Structure formats: structure tokens, C-alpha cells
């Protein structure tokens, strides 16, 4: 049985073509591992100055997906074929950067790490108006440092108890960081006076939301929603007693005139 041979693309030696698992000839182009490395290196596309400059300009500033997308846009203009994400990533690492944005965009979890607070607290800020700038496919959320800064300006009480040097390191505004650290040392704590609740169906008056909830075997939040949105819950209508009293007082004075 004659073995078929092929010419090595690098050193032009004839080599026996190996048979693969499906009994077919392997597509190998080179005689040895060393030759295959040489072939791979010659096939490599050289990185242009533009491409490298783009990486230098934008590295560590953008979330990885945005960075790669913009990179492709910028380099495809000059008529070059695109590079794979892996190639791009390894080049970025080779130039001494990482794909994690450090300067402008920042992951929510990194905000928590940098300020030494819980992730949940930062999530709560997002609910309360901290603007998320970008959400990547892996569901990481990114905010800009500017967004954090404006949030700190408008709602400084959310930043209670954070040491000023940590806040300064993140938002880069010494005065604001100092002001927040001086003024908001403790968690803002407001114990609201319990408001009386009245059930419209039974005309019973309860001293607080909790008592109304316990007496009717309901959740506190459902009583609260019923009173706030003026809608029934489980067939019962709950209202704040003071609101109702005020309304009734208004009506009686109007009818008296
Ligand atoms: Zn060879």
C-alpha cells in the first residue's frame, strides 16, 4: 500500500500525510510542529500603526464589547479585514492593557469594590436614579464616573459612611467627597410616626399599617398599596385615617355654608 506524500510548505520536504480518525487524509500542510509554527507566523496579518494607535487611545476606557466594535469600525474604514475578538484581546494584553475599563466606564460591582460597600447598595442607587450607561451581553452593567458624580451631587445622602479618600479616588472631586464624608456620617434613619389606618368596609381604625395587616392576615405592603393607590386589596379598602378625616372635615364645612 503506497502512502501518499505531500510537500511541506515551509521546508519543502516530502512527508507522509497522516490519516485522520475518519480514514481520510489529514489537511496538514507542514511536516512538523516547528514548521507549522513558522507557517502560522508568516500567515499573520501585521498590526498597522492605526490599529495600535486606536488601542493606545481607547484601552481601559470602554467596555470590551464597545471597544471591539469601535475598533472594527475605525479599522474597517481603512479597508483592512477585521480581526477576531481573540486576536484583538491578545493584542490589547500584549500592549499592556486589559479589557476591563478603568477610567471612564466602570462596572457596578467595581463601584462597590472601590467604595468598599455591598453590591446591593449600589443596585439600590440604580433604582434611585443612578444612570446605567451600558449593559453588556454578559449582563454586567456599566456606569460612567460622570453619572456617579452627578448622582453624588444630587443625592449625597446615599453615600453615607464612605471614607472621603475612597470617594475622592472614585469621583475625583475632593470638595464634594469631603463635604459628603463630613455631613453624612451615619445612615439616614427616619422612623416615621405610624399613621392610623381605617378599613372602609368594617370602619375599624388601626393604629398602624402593621396592626391593620396583622388583624386582617395581609401583608404590610398590600395595606400600604391600598391606602396609597386607593384601590381595594382582597376586597377591602384601606385608607389613611388622617386623609379621610381631612376630606370629611372639608365636606362638612362646605355643606355648612
Ligand atoms: Zn517542514
pLDDT averaged over 10-residue windows placed end to end, the chain, 257 residues? 80 88 87 88 82 86 83 74 83 88 82 90 89 78 87 88 87 86 79 82 88 89 89 88 70 40
- pLDDT for the residue numbered 255: 38
Domain end, chosen from 183, 213, 247, is at 183
- Kindly state whether residue 189 falls inside one of the protein's structural domains: no
pLDDT in the model for residue 192? 67
- Is 190 inside any structural domain? no
Q: Which three cell numbers stand for residue 197?
A: 389606618
Separation of 29 CA from ligand 1 center, angstroms?
Answer: 9
Q: Do residues 173 and 122 both lie within one domain?
A: yes
Q: CB-based burial of residue 138 (10 Å sphere; 0-12 exposed, 13-18 middle, 19+ buried)?
A: exposed
Expressed in angstroms and rounded, the spacing between residue 172 Cα and the centre of ligand 1 is 58
State residue 173's pLDDT score: 83
Q: What is the pLDDT of residues 156-176, one digit of tens each?
A: 888 888 888 888 888 888 888
Rounded to the nearest 10 degrees, how much is the dihedral formed by the CA atoms of 75, 80, 86, 92?
A: -40
Question: Looking at residue 247, what is its pLDDT?
Answer: 67
Question: Tell me, what's the pLDDT at 185?
Answer: 82
Report pLDDT for 256: 37
Query: Is position 188 within any domain?
Result: no
**Is residue 217 in some structural domain?**
yes
Number of domains into which the chain is organized: 4
CA of 8 to the centre of ligand 1 (A): 5
Residue 41 CA, ligand 1 centroid: distance in Å: 14
> What pLDDT is stored for residue 253 in this prediction?
40
Q: How many A from CA of 36 to the centre of ligand 1? A: 8
Residues 235 and 252 in one domain: yes
Q: How far, in Å, is the centroid of ligand 1 from the Cα of 20?
A: 19
Domain boundary among 138, 157, 183: 183
Residue 85: CB atoms within 10 A of its CB come to: 14
CA of 126 to the centre of ligand 1 (A): 60
Q: Quick one: the chain helix, strand, coil %, rounded to 5? A: 50, 10, 40
- Which domain range does residue 233 map to? 197-256
Query: Quick one: CA dihedral 134, 136, 141, 142, positive or negative?
Result: negative
- DSSP run (H or E) holding 180: helix 174-183
Calculate how far, in angstroms, residue 19's C-alpha sits from the geometric centre of ligand 1. 18
Amino acid at each position: 500500500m503506497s502512502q501518499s506524500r505531500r510537500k511541506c510548505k515551509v521546508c519543502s520536504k516530502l512527508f507522509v500525510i497522516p490519516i485522520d480518525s475518519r480514514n481520510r487524509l489529514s489537511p496538514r500542510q507542514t511536516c512538523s510542529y516547528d514548521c507549522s509554527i513558522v507557517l502560522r507566523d508568516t500567515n499573520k496579518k501585521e498590526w498597522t500603526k492605526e490599529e495600535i494607535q486606536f488601542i493606545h487611545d481607547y484601552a481601559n476606557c470602554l467596555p470590551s464589547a464597545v471597544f471591539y466594535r469601535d475598533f472594527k469600525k475605525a479599522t474597517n474604514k481603512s479597508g483592512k479585514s477585521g480581526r477576531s475578538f481573540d486576536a484583538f484581546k491578545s493584542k490589547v494584553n500584549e500592549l499592556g492593557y486589559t479589557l476591563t475599563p478603568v477610567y471612564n466606564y466602570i462596572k457596578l460591582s467595581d463601584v462597590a469594590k472601590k467604595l468598599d460597600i455591598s453590591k446591593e447598595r449600589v443596585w439600590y442607587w440604580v433604582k434611585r436614579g443612578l444612570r446605567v450607561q451600558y449593559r453588556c451581553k454578559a449582563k454586567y452593567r456599566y456606569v460612567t464616573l460622570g453619572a456617579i458624580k452627578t448622582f453624588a451631587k444630587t443625592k449625597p445622602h446615599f453615600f453615607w459612611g464612605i471614607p472621603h479618600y475612597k470617594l475622592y479616588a472614585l469621583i475625583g472631586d475632593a470638595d464634594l467627597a469631603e463635604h459628603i464624608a463630613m455631613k453624612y456620617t451615619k445612615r439616614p434613619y427616619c422612623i416615621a410616626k405610624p399613621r392610623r389606618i381605617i378599613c372602609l368596609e368594617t370602619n375599624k381604625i388601626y393604629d398602624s399599617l402593621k396592626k391593620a395587616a396583622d388583624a386582617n392576615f395581609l401583608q404590610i405592603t398590600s395595606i400600604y398599596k391600598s391606602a396609597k393607590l386607593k384601590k381595594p386589596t382582597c376586597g377591602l379598602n384601606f385608607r389613611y385615617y388622617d386623609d379621610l378625616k381631612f376630606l370629611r372635615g372639608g365636606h362638612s364645612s362646605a355643606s355648612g355654608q
